[in-house]
Amino acid sequence: MTTLNSRVPEGPIKDKWTIYKDKINLVNPANKRNIDIIVVGTGLAGGSAAATLAELGYNVKAFAYQDSPRRAHSIAAQGGINAAKNYMGDGDSNYRLFYDTVKGGDYRSREANVHRLAEVSGAIIDQCVAQGVPFARDYGGLLDNRSFGGVLVSRTFYAKGQTGQQLLLGCYSAMNRQIARGKIEMFNRHEMLDVVKVDGKARGIIARDLITGEIERHSAHAVVIATGGYGNVYFLSTNAMGSNATAAWKIHKKGAYFANPCFTQIHPTCIPRSGDYQSKLTLMSESLRNDGRIWVPAKIEDAKAIQQGNLKPTAISEVDRDYFLERRYPAYGNLVPRDVASRAAKERCDAGHGVNATGEAVYLDFAAAIHRYGSTQAKIQGLHNPSKEEVIKLGEAVIEEKYGNLFQMYEKIIDENPYKTPMMIYPATHYTMGGVWVDYNLMTTVPGLYCIGEANFSDHGANRLGASALMQGLADGYFVLPYTIGDYLADDIRTGKIPTNSPEFDEVEKSVKDQLEFFINNKGTHSVDYFHKKLGQVMWDKVGMARNEKGLKEAIKEIQEIREDFWKNVKVPGDLNEMNPELEKAGRVADFLELGELFAKDALEREESCGGHFREEHVTEDGEAKRDDKNFAYVAAWEYTGKPSEAILHKEQLEFKDIELKTRSYK
Amino acid sequence: MNLTLKIWRQKGPQEKGQMVEYKVTDISEHMSFLEMMDVLNESLVAKDEVPIAFDHDCREGICGMCSLHINGEPHGPDRGITTCQLHMRTFKDGDTIYIEPWRAKAFPVIKDLIVDRMAFERIQQAGGYISVNTSGNTQDANSIPISKYNADLSMDAASCIGCGACVASCKNSSAMLFVAAKVSQFALLPQGKVEAKERVLNMVAQMDIEGFGNCTNTGACEVECPKGISLENIARMNREYLKASII
């Protein structure tokens, strides 16, 4: 078994990045004009990378499947972005951010990458403010911070509940400046369908113009993949409808190793599904758990009556309620990390205590918070012996000020007033920590092929902390890749333009066209969504929040069967040379059907429970996740050899020199 | 519930389009509007017909991709939401619903309900940015205090999602609210003042080149805007424009 070279520089952890930057090769400005870089995906990672590389002088070609870079799914992030600014003076530092991220990731991330992330986090905030990102401020005019799960300091910067949107618009404006100057050539409504390698190096891509259906060849000296995560392998997730793994999977098939696919984050507070027609799931911010108490009926007959619509939650007395997070985790209560909260909710629902028609929901109840805030307000306002109604009215006003937009969103979707009756929530797939394996330079195992943002695996280990995804995307794009890619491109200053009429381009283009033609000509019996939903069901049932050997083996077999059925019976209407959303989906689902199998295989191989990966065989006596550092403190990087079932495992051993490995406990 | 849908079908930009009638049955009131469209499309695929093309992505009201003109209103009859946040409980059993693309000269139809909003991109490229390179050496984020009042106003303007409902709702197909939102976001911040003059002149000039109409202060844009962008931003842009033109 080969050992992967992570190319982590020598030296003490806090000096590695500085030493590295001092020693790398640079490309002089005149030569940068002769170098082309392709960036696929224009979310926070791709958008920031494209803008920065163009500012440096490279010729950038950027690709997005939406009609504008501004619509990438980074835009949906609500809560905020972490940075170790220590503006609050509460003891924050680069080291603390580094430590929290490694610990939060259950010790499955690469120390050197995470420390670098913490080091550049402060500059991200400076850069965004300079770009005009309207972060929240206090009355003195300085930036405001709030706190998120899993940490003891306030280091989260935010822009209302739309932080992702504002940061993305910052990248987008920086991109627009370069598009106007011709330094970025923007390809909206284009989808990358494969990568082209010449002499072992990534030298271009094949893309489809989603409006005309035309297949295009694009060459470059390096290719950057920034296409996000693969959460839609579950069909239902909080990802956008178009979020897909095709670029990441296609490069995997061309030699890029795929790391830790089983590390996926299931977020506890999402709006439950309501029927088979459901197309996506909506996240409710983690911040709600600050004031909401999570419970289910303690008696199974009460749960049944609620499921059948014969009982209202407000009619259940306190003694008959099971506040299961507070019961199991008295120290952290409702604020345990995401993976722990999700599993506990599933456990109760599986035991029959779920509370909506499908039995897959738990209550998030604000009645206690409304009463508490109301009583405080009554005292502040000097009301003696206020009536119950007065207290509730005052309390609701406080809750509205804090969470008004979320409550409104909930009411729009569920058509129930969450001030009067408890919210119903259930976990949903939200983020993928796993992804394409990259070294310290963010380069994949294919020379000249880079992977940044959620699409790579590097920084979050087995569980991501809240407000860290935005930080990583922007760190990679603004401050890491622009250095590391120069070190590689310094050897390419005499290469000249890469021709697109080579046999390598011919070959890849042909395979892309063959697949598209197959879909159109197959004339099968079932739509693409039919297969995607079947895959999603298997993934959710057997490779979801809790996994076991038997289920994973079944899942692998079932996914293989669905895939076989898909290639025989998929039906794609319409034509090749036109806008054809069904054709786009077909290619994406074909890739999910392979990725899903590798995902299950990875989960089967990892015989431990850690972070978002919970194996039922590996639990402590009281039912908690049991990590196995002796045997599994490694990154599982898979090499494609023709079939997901025959992928070869390469292990990158993780070394923890600066942080002691400990068991996470929230009791 | 059972519904009759009258939907604009147009094969391509140069083709002639028309309204086509479809029936959908057993629609749940809990479905979102786009999930109802999914159900219709699945039934069309089953019948070997070409499904209806419509733009959508995040389905949680923030990406700005979805853009349906429903019963004569951008994003449908509800207020403060995008098409993807509209739910079928807004309609009644037996209703007839008219579904059209955004209608504006500057937003040509690509296919069915999908329009080309590249005009918005070009307006942003004309000046919707602050000229600052990524160096890692910009001054500390807290070195310029900004009053909370202005920061909040700037945030309100910046919450525009670029969907184009303002243009679609306007009898003149004016893009003033969209352009004003960006101009205002930067005009309210000290970082944006340096290039304020060029920004407003260039963005407005590009807006005119793209063929958007003029503003007659009707205010339909503000009513239909899913993010509640205020008409005050247009007034602010007009002041910025006047200032930039005479000084």
Query: Do both B149 and B232 map to the same domain?
Result: yes
- Do residues B215 and B239 both lie within one domain? yes
Determine the distance in angstroms separating the CA of B214 from the nearest CA of chain A, rounded to an integer: 25
In a domain, B239, yes or no: yes
Q: Do residues B157 and B88 share a domain?
A: no
Q: Which of A426, A450, A482 is the last residue of a domain?
A: A426
What integer pLDDT is reported at residue A344 of this predicted model? 93
- Using CA atoms, how far apart are residues A81 and A159, in angstroms rounded to an integer? 9
Pairwise CB contact (< 8 Å): A143 & B48: no
A282 and A421 both lie in a single domain: yes
pLDDT of residue A335: 82
State residue A239's pLDDT score: 97
Distance to chain A for B165, nearest Cα, Å: 16
Taking only the tens place, the pLDDT of each residue in A363-384 is 999 999 999 999 999 999 999 8
Could you list the beta-strand ranges (E) of chain B: 3-9, 18-24, 69-70, 73-74, 96-100, 109-111, 114-115
- Do A405 and A533 reside in the same domain of the chain? no
For residue B136, tell me if it sits in a domain: no
d(CA A166, CA A163): 5
Q: Quick check: A445 pLDDT over 90?
A: yes
Residues B179 and B234 in one domain: yes
Residue A452: per-residue pLDDT: 98
Q: What is the pLDDT of residues A473-508, one digit of tens each?
A: 999 999 999 999 999 999 999 999 999 999 999 999
Query: A316 lies in a domain?
Result: yes
Handedness of CA B188, B193, B197, B201 (dihedral sign): negative
The pLDDT assigned to A263 comes to 98
Whole-number average pLDDT of chain B? 97
* B120: contact with A, CB 8 A cutoff: yes
Of B28, B49, B148, which has the smallest distance from its Cβ to A277's Cβ? Answer: B28
Q: What is the pLDDT of residue A148?
A: 75
E strands in A326-442: 362-365, 423-432, 435-436
Q: Are A275 and A417 members of one domain?
A: yes
B205 occurs within a structural domain: yes
Q: pLDDT of B184-241, one tens digit each?
A: 999 999 999 999 999 999 999 999 999 999 999 999 999 999 999 999 999 999 999 9
Two structure tokens written together for A413 = 């979707």
Cβ distance of B158 and A169 shorter than 8 Å:
yes
Q: How far apart are CA A364 and CA A385, in angstroms?
A: 29
The dihedrals phi and psi of A142, each to the nearest 5 degrees, come to -95, 165
Chain A residue with the nearest C-alpha to that of B186 = A132
Query: Are the Cβ atoms of A278 and B35 closer than 8 angstroms?
Result: yes
Tell me, yes or no, whether A618 lies in a domain: yes
What's the CATH number where A337 sits? 3.90.700.10
- The CATH number of the domain holding residue B181 is 1.10.1060.10
Considering CB atoms only, which of B114, B129, B134 is closest to A173? Answer: B129
Q: Are residue B101 and residue B165 in the same domain, yes or no?
A: no
Facing B58 at nearest CB: one of A76, A186, A274: A76
B58 and A CB contact within 8 Å: yes
Which of A125, A415, A529 is nearest residue B42 as measured by Cβ atoms? A529
Helix (H) or strand (E) holding A98: helix A94-104
Mean pLDDT of A180-195: 98
| SS3 of residue A258 by DSSP | strand
Residues A418 and A508 both lie in one domain: no
Q: Could you tell me if residue A334 is inside a domain?
A: yes
| Distance (Å, whole) CA A423 – CA A271 | 9
- The CATH number linked to A587 is 1.20.58.100
The average pLDDT across A582-602 equals 98
Which residue among B29, B120, B130 sits closest to A131, beta carbon to beta carbon?
Answer: B130
At A78, the pLDDT band (50, 70, 90 cuts) reads confident
Cα A34 versus chain centre, distance: 35
Interface test with A, best of B63, B133, B206 (most A CBs within 10 A): B63
- And the tokens for A631? 């045997």
Mutate to test the interface with B, among A412, A575, A578 (most CBs of B within 10 A): A412
B14 shares contact with chain A (CB less than 8 Å): no
CATH number of the domain encompassing residue B26: 3.10.20.30
Using the Cβ of B144 and the Cβ atoms of chain A, whether some distance falls under 8 Å is answered with yes
pLDDT higher than threshold 80 for residue A149: no
**Residue B99 sits in the same domain as residue B197:** no
What domain count does chain B have? 2
State the virtual CA torsion across B63, B68, B72, B76 in degrees, nearest 10: -60
- Judge whether A209 lies within some domain: no
**Cα of A33 vs its chain's centroid, Å:** 34
Helix axes A163-180, B118-125, angle to 10 degrees: 80
Contact with chain A for residue B196, Cβ under 8 A: no
Any bridge partners for residue A615, and if so which?
A: A547
The predicted pLDDT at position B23 comes to 97
Residue of A nearest to B192 (CA): A132
A183, two tokens = 């330094």
Least Cα separation, residue A478 to chain B (angstroms): 7
Average pLDDT of the segment spanning B64-92? 97
B158 lies in a domain?
A: yes
Alpha carbon of A252 to those of A211, A648, B140: distances in Å? 27, 12, 40
Judge whether A439 lies within some domain: no
Pairing mode, if any, of strands A648-653 and B18-24? unpaired
Let me know whether B96 and B127 are in one domain. no
Same domain? For B85 and B173 the reply is no
CB-CB neighbors (< 8 A) of B130 in chain A: 130-132, 173
Same domain for B186 and B92: no
Asked, for residue B153, whether it belongs to a domain, the answer is yes
What tokens does B226 get? 């899913």
The amino acid that residue A435 corresponds to is G
Number of domains making up chain A: 2
Q: Per-residue pLDDT averaged across B10-24, rounded?
A: 97
At residue A375, what are phi and psi to the nearest 5 degrees? Answer: -65, -40
**E strands along A526-565, which residues?**
none
The helix or strand, by DSSP H or E, that contains position A347, with its residue range, turns out to be helix A338-348
Q: How many CB atoms lie within 10 A of CB A352?
A: 14
Residues of A in contact with B81 (CB under 8 A): 412
Residue B137 lies in a domain: no
Neighbours of A156 (CB within 10 A): 24
Tokens of B111: 């296919």
β-pairing, B109-111 vs A648-653, is unpaired
CA A412 vs. chain centroid, Å, equals 25
CB of B16 within 8 Å of any CB in chain A?
no
Q: Has A7 been annotated as catalytic?
A: no
Q: Are B121 and B242 found together in one domain? A: yes
Contacts 24+ apart (CB under 8 A), A118-121: A118/A84, A118/A94, A119/A14, A119/A17, A119/A94, A120/A17, A120/A475, A120/A478, A120/A479, A120/A480, A120/B136, A121/A82, A121/A83, A121/A84, A121/A85, A121/A94, A121/A97, A121/A471, A121/A475
Catalytic residue among A71, A338, A547, A627: A338
Give a yes or no: residue A653 inside a domain.
no
Domain span at residue B172? 117-131+145-246
| CB-based burial label for B236 (10 Å; 0-12, 13-18, 19+) | buried
> Could you tell me if B88 and B154 lie in one domain?
no
Q: Is B169 on the interface with A (CB under 8 A)?
A: no
Average pLDDT on A121-141 reads 96
Check pLDDT > 80 for residue A3.
no
Supply the range of the domain harboring residue A318: 269-426
Taking alpha carbons only, the member of A75, A93, A74, A71 closest to residue A84 is A93
The Cα A123–Cα A454 span in angstroms is 20
Domain check: are A274 and A421 in the same one? Answer: yes
- C-beta atoms surrounding A530 within 10 Å: 21
Least confident of A281-285, A369-373, A429-433, A498-502: A281-285
User: Which of residues A392, A426, A460 is at a domain's end?
Assistant: A426
Contact A136 B31 (CB under 8 A): no
Q: Yes or no: say if A613 and A606 are a contact pair by the CB < 8 Å rule.
A: yes
Report the pLDDT value the prediction gives residue A2, as an integer from 0 to 100. 57
pLDDT at A140 over 90: yes
* B56 touches A: beta carbon within 8 Å: yes
How far apart CA A251 and CA A539 sit, in angstroms, is: 23
Identify whether B31 is part of a domain: yes
The pLDDT value given to residue A73: 97
Residues from chain A that touch B149, judged by Cβ atoms under 8 A, are none
Last residue of a domain, one of A408, A426, A444: A426
Question: Quick one: B106 and B149 in the same domain?
Answer: no
List pLDDT tens digits, range B149-165: 999 999 999 999 999 99
Look at residue B84 in the predicted model and tell me its pLDDT.
Answer: 96
For residue A242, list chain B residues with Cβ-Cβ distance below 8 A: 57
Cβ A177–B129 below 8 Å, yes or no?
yes
